[in-house]
């Protein structure tokens, strides 16, 4: 069955371009012209991913994302009119999976949509051979159920956040550069900035810090990230 993508943008020209590009890629696409219509479409059509513009009338993309995250983990690709909004849309509690800055190529949007869908439906190579849940200290990751928990308490994560944490947990002694993390999430050569990874890491740390877990991810200055002690030492 084709995946269904919801395109939420108040510009009908942008919606038309993206719907056409997604259809060429073999995906079904539906449209919403504002935030309220987007939430209604999620309820009525249960899309597999939403391409969500930030600046929309009636309800902006930020509020739509907050409401969606309060009720589930639908993958979200933000459309942003300014590159400097990346920390705002990824670095706080919103949990977007990726973003594209306007003006953009429809092919780039489709590529990022496909990458997110692949992450939802498959596991990174480093983890594929792992049998059952991954456990390190108080951290437990269930790759089959896409569930993370700390000392038995569930921690809701986005697709990208779970993918990053799972990559680190598969090889807990290895320090991963940002490029290496990107390669495992998207495949070699995928165009994404280091700032995006840093924003996801901050978001991950914030979610675990709220339940008292301060040592989930360790930073190695000038190199990258690795899994922390996770309460084990």
pLDDT at 187: 57
- Asked whether the predicted pLDDT for residue 221 surpasses 80, the reply is yes
Q: Indicate whether 42 pLDDT > 70.
A: yes
| pLDDT greater at residue 220 or residue 122 | 220
Q: CATH code at 152?
A: 1.10.10.10
Q: What percent of the chain has pLDDT over 70?
A: 83
pLDDT tens digit sequence for 86-143: 555 554 446 677 888 888 899 999 998 998 887 766 444 443 444 478 899 999 998 8
Given 72, 106, 121, the domain boundary residue is 121
Whole-angstrom CA distances from 21 to 14, 15, 27, 175 are 11, 10, 9, 38
Domain span holding position 27 = 4-121
pLDDT value at position 120? Answer: 67
Domain-located, residue 232: no
User: Quick one: 117 and 142 in the same domain?
Assistant: no
Residue 46: inside a domain: yes
Could you tell me if 112 and 152 lie in one domain? no
pTM of the model: 0.58
**Same domain, residue pair 114 and 8:** yes
DSSP per-residue codes, the chain: ---EEEEE-S-HHHHHHHHHHHHHTT-EEEEESSHHHHHHHHHHH--SEEEEESS-SSS-HHHHHHHHHHH----EEEEES-GGGHHHHHSSTT--SEEEESS--HHHHHHHHHHHHHHHHS--HHHHT--S-EEETTEEEETTTTEEEETTEE----HHHHHHHHHHHHSTTPPBPHHHHHHHHH-TT----HHHHHHHHHHHHHHHHTTT---SEEEETTTEEEE--TT--
Q: Are 8 and 117 in the same domain?
A: yes
Q: Across residues 14-27, what is the average pLDDT?
A: 94
Long-range contacts of 207-210 (CB under 8 A, 24+ apart): 207/93, 207/155, 207/156, 207/157, 207/161, 208/150, 208/155
Phi/psi of residue 129, nearest 5 degrees: -85, -5
> What value does the mean pLDDT of the chain take?
82
pLDDT on residue 49 = 94
Is 132 in the same domain as 111?
no
Same domain membership, residue 154 and residue 197: yes
Q: For residue 227, give the nearest of 151, 176, 161 by alpha carbon.
A: 176
130 shares a domain with 76 = no
With helix as H, strand as E and coil as C, how does 8-74 read? ECCCHHHHHHHHHHHHHCCCEEEEECCHHHHHHHHHHHCCCEEEEECCCCCCCHHHHHHHHHHHCCC
Predicted local distance difference test score (pLDDT) of residue 68:
86
CA atoms of 41 and 168, how far apart (whole Å) = 35
> Domain end: 121, 150, 178, which one?
121
Please give the radius of gyration of the chain, using alpha carbons only, rounded to the nearest integer. 17
167 within a domain of the structure (yes/no): yes
Question: pLDDT tens, 186-216?
Answer: 654 444 555 778 888 888 899 999 998 888 9
Last residue of a domain, one of 69, 90, 121: 121
Average pLDDT over residues 148-168: 88
In a domain, 77, yes or no: yes
Mean pLDDT over residues 212-231, rounded? 89
**Count: domains in the chain:** 2
Task: Check which CATH number belongs to the domain holding 68 and give it.
Answer: 3.40.50.2300
Q: Is residue 202 part of a domain?
A: yes
Name residue, tokens 């429809």.
106
Residue 89 lies in a domain: yes
Say if 233 falls within a structural domain: no
Tokens 């902006």 found at: 60
Query: Residue 7 has what pLDDT?
Result: 97
Question: Do 104 and 130 fall within a single domain?
Answer: no
142 and 113 in a single domain? The answer is: no
């Amino acid at each position: 069955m084709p995946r269904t993508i919801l395109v939420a943008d108040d510009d009908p020209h942008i919606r038309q371009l993206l719907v056409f590009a997604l259809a060429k890629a073999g995906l079904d696409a539906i449209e919403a012209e504002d935030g309220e219509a987007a939430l209604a479409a999620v309820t009525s059509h249960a899309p597999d991913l939403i391409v969500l513009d930030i600046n929309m009338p009636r309800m902006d993309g930020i509020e739509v994302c907050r409401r969606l995250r309060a009720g589930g983990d639908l993958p979200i690709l933000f459309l942003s009119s300014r590159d400097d909004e990346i920390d705002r849309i990824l670095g706080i509690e919103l949990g977007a999976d990726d973003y594209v800055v306007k003006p953009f190529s429809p092919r780039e949007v489709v590529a990022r949509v496909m990458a997110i869908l692949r992450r939802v439906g498959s596991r990174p190579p480093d983890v594929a051979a792992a049998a059952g849940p991954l456990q390190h200290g108080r951290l437990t990751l269930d790759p089959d159920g896409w569930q993370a928990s700390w000392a038995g308490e569930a921690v809701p994560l986005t697709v990208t956040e779970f993918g990053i944490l799972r990559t680190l947990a598969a090889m807990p002694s290895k320090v991963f550069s940002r490029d290496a993390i990107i390669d495992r999430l998207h495949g070699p050569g995928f165009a994404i900035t280091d700032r995006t990874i840093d924003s996801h890491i901050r978001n991950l740390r914030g979610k675990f810090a709220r339940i008292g877990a301060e040592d989930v991810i360790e930073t190695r200055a000038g190199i990258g990230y690795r899994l922390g002690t996770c309460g084990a030492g």
